[in-house]
Structure 1
Amino acid sequence: MDRLQSMKIFACVVDSGGFSAAADQLGLSQAQVTRHVAALESDLGLRLLERTTRRMHLTEIGEAYLDRCRRILALVEEADTMGEAHRGEPRGVLRLTSSVSFARAHLAPAIAEYMQLFPETGFDLILSDRTLNMVDEGIDLAFRITHAVDPGLVARPLAPCRVVVCASPGYIERNGRPERPEDLRHHDCLSHSYFKRSIWPFRGAGGEQSIAVRTRVAGDVDFLHALACAGAGVAHLPSYLVGDDIRAGVLVPLLEEYEMPSPSVYAVYPSRHYLLPKVRSFLDYFAERVGDPPHWDRGWSDSAPQ
Structure 2
Amino acid sequence: MDRWQAMRVFVKVAETASFAETARHLHMSPPAVTRAVAGLEEAIGARLFVRTTRSVKLTEAGRRYVEDCRRILADIVEAEAAAAGSYATPSGTLAITASVLFGHMHVLPIITDYLDAYPTMAARTLFVDRPVNIVEEGIDVAIRIGHLPDSGFTAARVGSVRRVICGSPGYFDRHGVPTAPADLKDHRIAISTGAFASPEWRFAGDQRVTIHPTLQSNTNEAGITAALAGWGLTRVLHYQIGPALLDGRLQIVLADHEEPPLPIHVLYPEGRHAPAKVRTFVDMAVARLRANRLLN
Q: TM-score normalised to the size of structure 2? A: 0.68
Specify the alignment match of 1:176 in structure 2. 175
| 1:61 alignment partner AA | A
Counting only pairs closer than 5 Å after superposition, residues 221-300 of structure 1 correspond to structure 2 as: 223-224=219-220, 226-230=222-226, 234-243=233-242, 252-255=250-253, 258=256, 260=258, 261-269=260-268, 272=271, 275-290=274-289, 292-294=291-293, 297=294
Q: Please say if residues 162 and 262 of structure 1, whose CA atoms lie closer than 8 Å, have aligned partners that are also in contact.
A: yes
Give 3-state SS (helix, strand or coil) of 2:143's partner: strand
Residue 286 of structure 1: how far off its partner (Å): 2.3
Structure that is richer in helix per residue: 2
Specify the alignment match of 2:50 in structure 1. 50
Specify the alignment match of 1:204 in structure 2. none
Specify the alignment match of 2:211 in structure 1. 215
Specify the alignment match of 1:206 in structure 2. none
Farther off after superposition, 19-28 or 268-277: 268-277
Cα distance change, pair 70–142 in 1 and its aligned pair in 2 (3 A): farther
Give 3-state SS (helix, strand or coil) of 1:57's partner: strand
Cα distance change, pair 84–169 in 1 and its aligned pair in 2 (3 A): farther
Residue 105 of structure 1: how far off its partner (Å): 5.4
CA deviations over 1:242-265 (Å, ceiling 9, x no partner): 33566799x723228647322332
| 2:68 alignment partner AA | R
Cα distance change, pair 129–48 in 1 and its aligned pair in 2 (3 A): same
Q: Please say if residues 93 and 123 of structure 1, whose CA atoms lie closer than 8 Å, have aligned partners that are also in contact.
A: yes
Gaps in structure 1 of 5+ consecutive residues: 202-208
2-side partners of 1:150 and 1:20: how far apart?
29
Specify the alignment match of 2:2 in structure 1. 2
Specify the alignment match of 1:66 in structure 2. 66
Aligned residues: 285
Residue 267 of structure 1: how far off its partner (Å): 1.9
Residue 42 of structure 1: how far off its partner (Å): 2.3
Q: Please say if residues 168 and 229 of structure 1, whose CA atoms lie closer than 8 Å, have aligned partners that are also in contact.
A: no
Specify the alignment match of 1:199 in structure 2. 202
2-side partners of 1:177 and 1:284: how far apart?
46
| 1:215 alignment partner AA | I
Cα distance change, pair 22–103 in 1 and its aligned pair in 2 (3 A): farther
2-side partners of 1:263 and 1:108: how far apart?
21
Cα distance change, pair 111–120 in 1 and its aligned pair in 2 (3 A): same
Specify the alignment match of 1:19 in structure 2. 19
Gaps in structure 2 of 5+ consecutive residues: none
Specify the alignment match of 1:164 in structure 2. 164
Residue 131 of structure 1: how far off its partner (Å): 9.8
CA deviations over 1:199-227 (Å, ceiling 9, x no partner): 323xxxxxxx665434125xxx9745544
Residue 281 of structure 1: how far off its partner (Å): 0.9
Farther off after superposition, 236-245 or 87-96: 87-96
Cα distance change, pair 131–125 in 1 and its aligned pair in 2 (3 A): closer
Q: TM-score normalised to the size of structure 1? A: 0.66
